[in-house]
Chain A
Amino acid sequence: MDFDLTEDQREIKDVARELLTARSPWAKVRQAAEAGEYDAALWRELVELGWAGIAVAERYGGQGLGAVELGVLLEELGYACAATPFFSTAVAAAAIQAGGSDEQRARWLPGLAGGELSAGVGTAELVIDGHGADVLVLLDDEGARLVASPDAESLVAIDPTRRFATVSADADGEALAADVGDRVRAALAAEVVGVCQRALEMTLEYVKDRKQFGVPVGSFQAVSHRCAQMLLYTESARSTAYYAAWAADAEPQRLGEAAALAAAAAATGAREVPASAIQAHGGIGFTWEADVHWLYKRGEVDRVLLGGPERHHAALARAAGQRLAVPAG
C-alpha cells in the first residue's frame, strides 16, 4: 500500500508548478481570457515538453506514461487555470490510446501528441474546444464515440479561459471502449483538484492578510471553519481523483466505481470550494479584479461536464446494492 505519488510523479508535479507559476500567472490568464484567446506561446511550450502526449504510447510519439501522470498535469493546469487547449488535446489522446482501435490510434495520436491536430472533449451539448477541432471524443449516456471532422458550432460559456462548442447529438461517430467516459471524468476530477487547491490557497492568503476589527479575518471561526471545510472538500476530491487515476492504469475493473466516486466528489468540490473562496474574499471577491472568479467559472463548467453529483450518487448506491446481493467470493 502506497497511496501517494511516486518520486517521478512528484517531480512532474513540481516541474509543472514551477513552469506554470512563471509562464501563466494570473495576469497572463486574464489577458488571454479577456482577449478570448488561448495563450499560444504557452501551448507551444507545453507541446514541446511532450505534455500533450503524456499518456500516449511512445510508438505514437507520446511519453508512454499513464492516467496518474496525466492527472498530475491536469491538476497543475487546473491550479494555474491556464488558458490552453491542454485538457482537450491530452485527454482526447489518452482516451483514444486507452479506448480506441489500432487504426484510430495510428490515425490520431501522432498528430495530437505533436500538437499538429486538435481535439474536442465533452458531451454533444458542451464540448471543450470542439469548434474547428479535427476530432472529438463525445460522451453520452451509452458510452463514448469518436467523431472525425465534426460540424461544431461555437458556444461562449461562462468560463472565458476556455473555448466551447456544441454539436448535433446524432453526429456520426465510431464507438470507443465503454470505459472512455470514466477516463474522461477521472481526468476532469483531476483538474478540479487543482482548481480547489488554488481557491483554497488564495483564500488562506487573503484571510491571513485582511484585517477587520483590528485582527486578521482568518482568526474568526466563522471564516476559519469555512476554510477547514474547503480543505475537506479539496482532500475528498483528491483522495477519489487519485484513486480513479490509479484504477485507470492499474485495475481498470475498479475504474467504473472509482470514476463515479471521483466525479461525485469533484462535482461537489468544484462548486463549493471556489464559491467559498468568493465569499471569504468579501466584496473584493465579487469583483472582476479579484482572480477567484476564474476558478468559480472553471469549476461550474467542469461540474456540468462531470454530470453533477446526484446521478453518480444514485449509480453508486445501485452498485453497492448489487454487490451486497452477490455473496462475496
Chain B
Amino acid sequence: MDLTFSEPELAFRDELRAWFAEHEPGQEPHGDEDAHYAWRRDYQRELATDGWAAVHWPVEYGGRGATLTQSAIFFEELGRSGAPMMANVLGVLLAGPTIMAYGTPEQKDRYLAPILTGEEIWCQGFSEPDAGSDLASLKTRAVKDGDGWVVTGQKVWTSGAQYSKWCMLVARTDPEAPKHKGLTYFLMDMDQEAVQVRPLRQITGESEFNELFIDGARIPDENVLGGVGNGWRVALTTLMNERAGLAFFLQVRMRQLLDRLIGEAMARGLLDDPVIAERLGQMHLKAEVLRLTAYRGLTAIEKYGEPGPEGSLTKWMWSETNQQLTQLAADLLGPVALQAGARWSYELLRARGNSIEGGTTEVLKNIVAERVLGLPKAR
C-alpha cells in the first residue's frame, strides 16, 4: 500500500503544473454562453498544441499514452488550475476511445485528429424522450437506402449539439430483432437540413443541452461504427468511458467549492458554531471519502484490469455530496447565496442535475445491486 505518487507520476504532475502556470486561461466570460464556449474551445486548442488535450490517448493518435493514474492526475490538475474543461470533452472522452476501439483505419484517420484540436466538436445522440434509463428501448429509426441510411427520430439531453459537427448516434436498424440486438452506432454529420437542434432551457436558465429533431437525415455506409446490429456493444464502450476520467475533475471542483464555503464560513465566524462545524466537517469527510475511493478504484483497474466494488460508487457519492454542499451553502450564507446570478445560487440549481445526468442515482443503485452485489434483477 502506497498512497503517494511515484517519481514518474510526480514528474508528470510537475510538468503539468508548470504548463498550467504558463497558460493561464484568462477571464471566464459570464452571461454569454457562446463566448463561454469559445473560451473553452480556445483553451483546448492550446492544450492540444502541447499534447495535453487527451493524455490518455495513445501517442500515435496525438495523446501521451498516459497511465490511468497519470490521467487522473491530469484531470485533478486541470480542475485545480481553474482552467475550463475541454470544449470537446465528449469527443475526447467518449467518441475518440470508441472510434479507437471499433473504428476502421479510415475512420481513425478521418476523425481522431480534429477531436483533439477541438476543430470538430462531438455530441452524444443516445437518450430519447421515451428512452432514458431504459436506453435500449430507443425508437429512432435508420432505414437502408442505397449506399447509406436514412434516419428519422428524436434525441434529447444532447449536450453541446449546437456547436457540434458530429453526433454519436444510436438508432434502430432492425425493428424485428430483440431490443438490444437491432441497434447500430452511427457517426452522423450534424451539418444537414434534416437535423434540427432546439436548445432546452435548464432550471439554471442556461442551455447546456438540446433536443435533436432528425427528419430523413442521411448517413453513408462508411459512417457505421462497429458493424450493423452491433450498436448496443459499441454504445456500452462509450458509456463505460463516460465515468472514467471525469470523476477526478469533478472531485477536485467539488473540493474547491467546499474550500470556498469553509472560507466564507470562517470569514463570518461560523466555524465556532458546533452545529455548523459538524455539518461542514461531514462534507469534508464525504469529499475525502470520494477522493480516496476514486483512487482505490484506480488501483483496482490498474492491478486487476477491472474496477472493484468501490468503482460503481463514486458517481453516486459525488452527486449526493455536491448537492448537499450547495444546499449547506444556502443554509449557512442565507440570502446572499440565493440572489439570482450569484455563484452559490447557480451551483445550488445546477447540482440538481448531478443525480440525473450520466445515470440517475436510482439506476446506479440498481447497477450496484445487480452487478456488484449479485442481487436478482430489480422489479
Contact B368 A231 (CB under 8 A): yes
Contact B266 A208 (CB under 8 A): no
Segment touching B, from A76-84, A188-196, A314-322: A314-322
- Type the 1/0 row for A163-203, where 1 means its CB is closer than 8 Å to any CB of B: 00000000000000000000000000000000000000000
Contact A264 B285 (CB under 8 A): yes
With CB as the reference atom, state the residue of chain B lying closest to A213.
B379
Q: Which residues of B contact A5 (CB under 8 A)?
A: 1
Q: Which residues of A contact B282 (CB under 8 A)?
A: 264, 309, 313
Contact B284 A231 (CB under 8 A): no
Q: Which residues of B contact A318 (CB under 8 A)?
A: 271, 277, 281
Contact A250 B277 (CB under 8 A): no
Some 12 contacts from A to B, beta carbons below 8 A apart, are A2-B299, A3-B1, A6-B1, A208-B374, A218-B369, A218-B375, A224-B373, A235-B309, A239-B292, A239-B296, A312-B285, A317-B276
Contact of B6 among A1, A231, A239, A325 (CB under 8 A): A1
If A9-B1, A314-B277, A324-B266 touch, does A3 touch B284 (CB 8 Å cutoff)?
no
Contact A317 B1 (CB under 8 A): no
B61 close to chain A: CB less than 8 A: no
Contact B1 A220 (CB under 8 A): no
Interface centre among A1, A5, A243, A264 (most CB of B within 10 A): A1
Contact A261 B376 (CB under 8 A): no
A224→B289 CA distance, assembly (Å): 23
Q: Which residues of B contact A215 (CB under 8 A)?
A: 376, 379
A24 close to chain B: CB less than 8 A: no
Contact of B313 among A9, A232, A316 (CB under 8 A): A232
Q: Give chain A interface residues in 224-271, CB to chain B under 8 Å.
A: 224-225, 227-229, 231-232, 235-236, 238-240, 242-243, 245-247, 250-251, 261, 264-265
Q: Give chain B interface residues in 195-247, CB to chain A under 8 Å.
A: none
Q: Which residues of A contact B3 (CB under 8 A)?
A: 1, 3, 243, 246-247, 250-251
Q: Which residues of A contact B6 (CB under 8 A)?
A: 1
Interface size for chain B: under 10, 10 to 19, 20 to 34, or 35 or more residues? Answer: 35 or more
B28 close to chain A: CB less than 8 A: no
Contact B369 A313 (CB under 8 A): no
Contact of A4 among B300, B313, B374, B378 (CB under 8 A): B300
Q: Which residues of B contact A (CB under 8 A)?
A: 1-6, 9, 69, 258-259, 262-263, 265-266, 271, 274, 276-282, 284-285, 288-289, 292-293, 295-296, 298-300, 303, 309-310, 313, 316-317, 362, 364-366, 368-370, 372-379
Contact of B278 among A218, A238, A240, A310 (CB under 8 A): A310
A36 close to chain B: CB less than 8 A: no
Contact B281 A312 (CB under 8 A): yes
Which are the 9 A-B pairs with shortest beta-carbon distances? A313-B281, A317-B281, A224-B369, A316-B281, A239-B292, A317-B280, A314-B277, A219-B376, A228-B368
Contact B373 A228 (CB under 8 A): yes
Contact A317 B292 (CB under 8 A): no
A324→B258 CA distance, assembly (Å): 11
Interface size on A, residues (CB 8 A): 52
Contact A231 B372 (CB under 8 A): yes
A289→B271 CA distance, assembly (Å): 47
A2→B69 CA distance, assembly (Å): 10
A216 close to chain B: CB less than 8 A: yes
If A310-B278, A320-B262 touch, does A204 touch B374 (CB 8 Å cutoff)?
yes
A207 close to chain B: CB less than 8 A: yes
A152 close to chain B: CB less than 8 A: no
With CB as the reference atom, state the residue of chain B lying closest to A242.
B1
Q: Which residues of B contact A208 (CB under 8 A)?
A: 374-376
A143→B292 CA distance, assembly (Å): 27
If A2-B299, A5-B1, A316-B284 touch, does A231 touch B373 (CB 8 Å cutoff)?
yes
A242→B258 CA distance, assembly (Å): 24
A239→B309 CA distance, assembly (Å): 12
Contact B369 A321 (CB under 8 A): no
If A3-B3, A224-B365, A320-B259 touch, does A219 touch B378 (CB 8 Å cutoff)?
yes
A216→B300 CA distance, assembly (Å): 31
With CB as the reference atom, state the residue of chain B lying closest to A313.
B281
Contact A4 B271 (CB under 8 A): no
Contact of A1 among B9, B316, B376, B378 (CB under 8 A): B9
Given A221-B362, A261-B288, A313-B281, output 18 extra A-B contacts at Cβ < 8 Å: A3-B3, A3-B296, A3-B299, A204-B374, A218-B375, A228-B369, A245-B1, A250-B1, A250-B3, A265-B285, A309-B282, A312-B285, A314-B274, A314-B278, A316-B285, A318-B271, A318-B281, A320-B280
Q: Give chain A interface residues in 1-38, CB to chain B under 8 Å.
A: 1-6, 9
Contact B289 A68 (CB under 8 A): no
Contact B293 A235 (CB under 8 A): yes
Contact B377 A219 (CB under 8 A): yes
With CB as the reference atom, state the residue of chain A lying closest to B304.
A4
If A1-B4, A220-B379, A235-B310 touch, does A324 touch B285 (CB 8 Å cutoff)?
no
Contact B373 A204 (CB under 8 A): yes
Interface centre among B258, B288, B378 (most CB of A within 10 A): B288
A225→B366 CA distance, assembly (Å): 7
- Closest Cβ–Cβ distance, residue B277 to chain A (whole Å): 4
If A219-B375, A318-B271, A320-B259 touch, does A246 touch B365 (CB 8 Å cutoff)?
no
If A1-B5, A239-B293 touch, does A204 touch B274 (CB 8 Å cutoff)?
no
With CB as the reference atom, state the residue of chain B lying closest to A239.
B292
With CB as the reference atom, state the residue of chain B lying closest to A312.
B281
With CB as the reference atom, state the residue of chain B lying closest to A220.
B379
- Closest Cβ–Cβ distance, residue A139 to chain B (whole Å): 20
A236→B320 CA distance, assembly (Å): 14
A218→B379 CA distance, assembly (Å): 9
- Closest Cβ–Cβ distance, residue A3 to chain B (whole Å): 4
